[in-house]
């Protein structure tokens, strides 16, 4: 009887069930050729071996298509056949771990094919492809002895059909892909979805950054309220209110200085009022006048304080005192008749706050008999030009304007 294709035997079905239940693989082990006949399909399904064994041949390849159909390929020649023989049967054997090897699938083509003996010189090569359906839940493989099996023309053609023309591969060829935007792997390519997500995140970050400013170190007065209480900062206009004139900025630069505005000298830590427009960067008295509180206080104190010093020599006595910027000098000179005029005597004033800024030179006493002089270094000199009686004596007094040294 012709089976018209492969029949999975009852033993083969049991192997499939056992493999599924126990998560096992099916391994195809060998192919047998036979000369026997079967009368019914039921008889064929009950077989555990071929009916009339003739020759065992190796499995050369096994493959599975997308539908789960498995192709088991075996090849043989009649080169070692001693006599002419008609072959009808093909049996595929398999094994599962834990079970014995058995006939898995069976084919019988009825009439069979006659093969001459190998000694006839007519060498015939045949390929037997057996197709069986096995659930894709089961892994299948085959035992192939590559030392005795050679690829057929059919194998080569099928292999070539699964190939593509050789071409130059760029660096991104056959890489894995990923939708992740946080993966740090140079061997994985970003998908368009990953690029889209990254762009969306970049847009979000850009939108958020639009409302930000560069980060910087904040000093203690940062973001304080204006006011005069603790933890508040003084408003700029308050400085003008304190000075009484508009504040113009720092003096020590080449910027234009405007008359009537106040400028701070960083060199001597003082405020100056500009008296004439200029661009100089130092406190020249021709353009600037001190208005710092400390300087004003000093001027006020100079007007109020008094300084007194008394000095005497053998012929000259003097007392100097000051009220504000005015110095008063009272003294007398006494020279006996033993001295011949002109006679000069001098006293060094010790208190530098009593030195005049310019030389004081004036006549005192009787006519031009006495000439008084006080220089800027505090040296008081008196010259007696002529005698008055036996004893030359004269009182003198004078005053001068004093400005304290800077």
**What's the token pair of residue 285?**
């008295």
Lowest mean pLDDT among 84-88, 295-299, 335-339: 335-339
pLDDT tens per residue, range 328-381: 777 766 665 545 666 677 777 777 767 776 766 666 544 445 666 777 777 777
Chain position carrying tokens 């007392």: 319
Give the number of C-alpha atoms closer than 13 A to the C-alpha of residue 309, restricted to the C-beta side. 15
Lowest mean pLDDT among 93-102, 128-137, 198-207, 311-320: 311-320
Q: What is the pTM of this model?
A: 0.41
pLDDT tens per residue, range 196-208: 888 888 888 778 7
Residue 393 · residue 335 · CB < 8 Å = yes
pLDDT tens per residue, range 11-31: 999 998 999 899 998 999 999
Give percent of the chain above pLDDT 70: 72
Which pLDDT value is given to residue 396? 62
Residue 316 · residue 331 · CB < 8 Å = yes
Q: Rounded distance, CA 48 to CA 46, Å? A: 7
- Is 82's pLDDT higher than 80? yes
Residue 51 · residue 65 · CB < 8 Å = no
Residue 113 · residue 59 · CB < 8 Å = no
Give the number of C-alpha atoms closer than 13 A to the C-alpha of residue 205, restricted to the C-beta side. 6
- Is 263's pLDDT higher than 60? yes
Which pLDDT value is given to residue 149? 45
């Amino acid at each position: 009887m012709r089976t018209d294709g492969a029949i999975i035997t009852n033993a083969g079905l049991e192997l499939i069930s056992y493999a599924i239940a126990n998560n096992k693989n099916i391994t195809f082990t060998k192919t047998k050729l036979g000369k026997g006949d079967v009368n019914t399909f039921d008889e064929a399904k009950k077989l555990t071996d071929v009916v009339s064994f003739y020759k065992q041949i190796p499995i050369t390849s096994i493959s599975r298509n997308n539908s789960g159909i498995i192709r088991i390929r075996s090849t043989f020649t009649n080169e070692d056949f001693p006599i002419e023989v008609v072959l009808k049967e093909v049996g595929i054997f398999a094994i599962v771990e834990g079970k014995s090897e058995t006939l898995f699938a069976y084919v019988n083509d009825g009439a069979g094919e006659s093969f001459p003996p190998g000694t006839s010189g007519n060498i015939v090569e045949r390929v037997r492809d057996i197709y069986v359906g096995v659930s894709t839940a089961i892994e299948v493989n085959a035992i192939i002895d590559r030392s005795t099996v050679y690829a057929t023309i059919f194998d080569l053609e099928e292999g070539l059909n699964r190939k593509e023309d050789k071409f130059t591969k760029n660096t991104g060829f056959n890489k894995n892909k990923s939708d992740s935007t946080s993966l740090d792997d140079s061997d994985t390519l970003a998908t368009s979805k990953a690029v889209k997500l990254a762009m969306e995140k970049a847009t979000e970050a850009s939108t958020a950054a639009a409302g930000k400013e560069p980060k910087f170190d904040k000093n203690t007065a940062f973001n304080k309220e204006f006011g005069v209480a603790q933890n508040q900062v003084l408003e700029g206009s308050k400085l003008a209110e304190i000075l009484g004139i508009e504040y113009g900025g720092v003096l020590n630069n080449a910027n234009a200085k405007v008359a009537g505005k106040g400028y701070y000298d960083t060199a001597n830590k003082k405020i100056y009022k500009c008296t004439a427009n200029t661009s100089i960067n130092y406190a020249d008295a021709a353009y600037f006048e001190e208005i710092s509180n400390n300087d004003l206080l000093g001027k006020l104190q100079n007007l109020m304080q008094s300084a007194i010093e008394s000095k005497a020599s053998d012929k000259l006595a003097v007392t100097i005192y000051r009220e504000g910027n005015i110095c008063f000098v009272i003294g007398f000179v006494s020279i006996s008749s033993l001295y011949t005029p002109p006679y000069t005597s001098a006293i060094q004033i010790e208190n530098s706050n009593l030195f005049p800024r310019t030389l004081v030179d004036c006549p005192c006493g009787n006519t031009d008999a006495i000439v008084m002089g006080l220089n800027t270094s505090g040296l008081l000199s008196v010259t007696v030009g002529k005698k008055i009686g036996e004893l030359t004596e004269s009182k003198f007094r004078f005053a001068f304007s004093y400005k304290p040294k800077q």
